[in-house]
Each structure stands twice: as structure tokens, then as C-alpha cells.
Amino acid sequence: MARIAIIGSCITRDLWPLREAAPRDLLYVSRTSLPSLLSLPVADYSPRPSPPPDFTRYQHMAVEADLLKTGLPQLLAHRPTHLIFDFIDERFDLLRLPAGSLITHSWELESGGYLQHPALADPQPIPRLSAAAERLWRDAVVQLVGLLRHTVLREAKIILHTAQWASRQGASDGSSEPLQGYPHIWDGRPADLAAHNQMLARYEAYFLAMIPEVHVVRARPEHLLADPDHRWGLSPFHYVPAYYDDISHALAELGAGDATTSPV
């Protein structure tokens, strides 16, 4: 059976049943960026004994994995047969801490109060669309190439789920219409949709140039539509069901269509 790992976002994770459960054959590492994933752990950060109020266990685990840099060890221990990347979570800014560690400035990090921990004091913001962030990201891809060549990850089939932010949304009559509202990284933090799509195109082109053996899966262009009825709400990267059907079929052809989860 396939052992699938995802370094990415809900656009890939939502292809499988979503439960508050520990995955058995599916490892999901999210709310991180490649530079953050491959950075040093945050010095002197002590894990919280429980999630912040109104946070799920998974949200809490995702933030602490980014701070403690446990994602990569988990990935190596998982020994995936299929390793899927998508870059939609690469929309968040980065923060550099005085001791040198990079962390991902996700909504969960901000709203969960993690930045109040003394170990996270005085971070230097690195805006996602800046040249500095792009240099860090490209450097991280170079590091990643080494891991894919010289660790157990060389046994995995590497897959890129290529995606863009949708500029149109599905309509009730089956047609489409312009996306309603202004895109946000999260509420109160607006984003430039075109600039993020241009960045994603650059990221994907560099990734494919550095790792030419990657298998690419993508949805048909007519299915790149935001879904007003999506379980997580309307967003440029919460797509209509046909989008996910396209990706599911493409992954199945690569032997990555049968991930299962089991409750704990």
C-alpha cells in the first residue's frame, strides 16, 4: 500500500478523508515553508502542554512542528512511497529569529499567541513577495535536492501538485463569475492575487528545473474555480469539486490514490 506524505496545504490534504485522527498511511506537513521546514529549531522554545483555546489538536501540532522542526524527521521516518508537494502555503511571510531560525508567519502562529513565547521575541519579518524570501526559498530547494538524492526519500515518487489562486468562482447555474471580495492571506491581511500567482509560477519552474524527475499533476483550467460552498469558505484556493476530482484521478494514475486514515 502507498505511504503518502504531503508537504503542502489543504488543497492536497482534502483529497483524503479529513478527521481529527492520527494518519496511518498519510503524513501531512503544513503551515510551513521550505526555508522554515529546513531551518534550525527555535532555540529555547518549550512546547505548550495543550492547544490554545479554540484550536484543534492538528492546528497546534502544525505550529509546533514548524517551531521545533519535527516535520523533516517525521518525513524521513515515514519513508513515503509518494511525496507530494504543493506550494499554496507558501503565501505566508517568514520570520527570522535573532538566533537564526526561520519560522512561518501563519495565521495559527499569530492568533494562537505563540509569538508571546520569549523564544520568539524580536523576529525580523521577511515579506513573502520580497526578493529576500525568494532567495531563501531557492536556497531551500537546493537543500531539498540533497535530501531527495541521499536519504530514504530517494525511494519516493516525487509529485508536484501545481496550482494557482483562482480569479473566478463557480456560479449556481454551473457557469463562473469573477471572484467576490478581495483575496486575503487571512482576515485583515489582504493579498495581491496576481503577484502570488506569478510567484507560484516562478517557484514551480525552479522546483522542476532542479528536480526534473518530478511528476506533475494539475487540474483542467476550466476547473480552477473557487467554491462559494467549500467547507472552509470562499477563498482563491478553496476549489470546486471538479478540481479535486481531476487531481484525485491524476494521483491514482501514479499509484497515490488509496491513502487511508485510522482513528486513535
Q: Please report, for the domain that includes residue 148, its CATH number.
A: 3.40.50
pLDDT, tens only, 184-224: 998 889 999 999 999 999 999 999 999 999 999 999 999 99
Indicate the number of domains in the chain.
Answer: 1
How are beta strands 93-96 and 124-126 bridged, if at all? Answer: antiparallel
Provide the 10 A C-beta neighbour count for residue 154.
10
Structural domain contains residue 223: yes
pLDDT (average), residues 60-81? 97
**Domain presence at residue 201:** yes
Strands 168-170 and 176-178: antiparallel
> Backbone phi, then psi, for 19, in 5-degree steps?
-135, 160
Mean pLDDT of 160-188: 94
30, 89 contact by CB (below 8 A): yes
- Would you call 150 exposed, middle or buried from its count of C-beta atoms within 10 A (0-12, 13-18, 19+)? exposed
Residue 154 lies in a domain: yes
Task: Return the CA Rg of the chain.
Answer: 18
Calpha distance 179→166 (Å, rounded): 8
Asked whether residue 258 is domain-assigned, the answer is: no
Question: Structural domain of residue 70, as residue ranges?
Answer: 4-253
In a domain, 263, yes or no: no
Q: Is position 264 within any domain?
A: no
In the predicted model, is pLDDT for residue 262 greater than 60? no
Q: Span 239-243, mean pLDDT? A: 96
- Determine how β-strand 157-161 pairs with β-strand 82-85: parallel
Query: Does residue 123 have a pLDDT over 70?
Result: yes
What span, in angstroms and rounded, lies between the C-alpha atoms of 47 and 61?
A: 10
pLDDT of residue 230: 94
Q: Are 102 and 25 in contact (CB under 8 A)?
A: no
Q: What is the pTM of this model?
A: 0.93
77 found inside a domain: yes
Model confidence band, residue 43 (pLDDT cutoffs 50, 70, 90):
very high
6 has which bridge partners?
28, 84
C-alpha 93/C-alpha 91 separation (Å) is: 7
Place of cell 471580495: 181
Q: Is residue 260 part of a domain?
A: no
At 156, is the pLDDT very low, low, confident or very high (cuts 50, 70, 90)?
A: very high
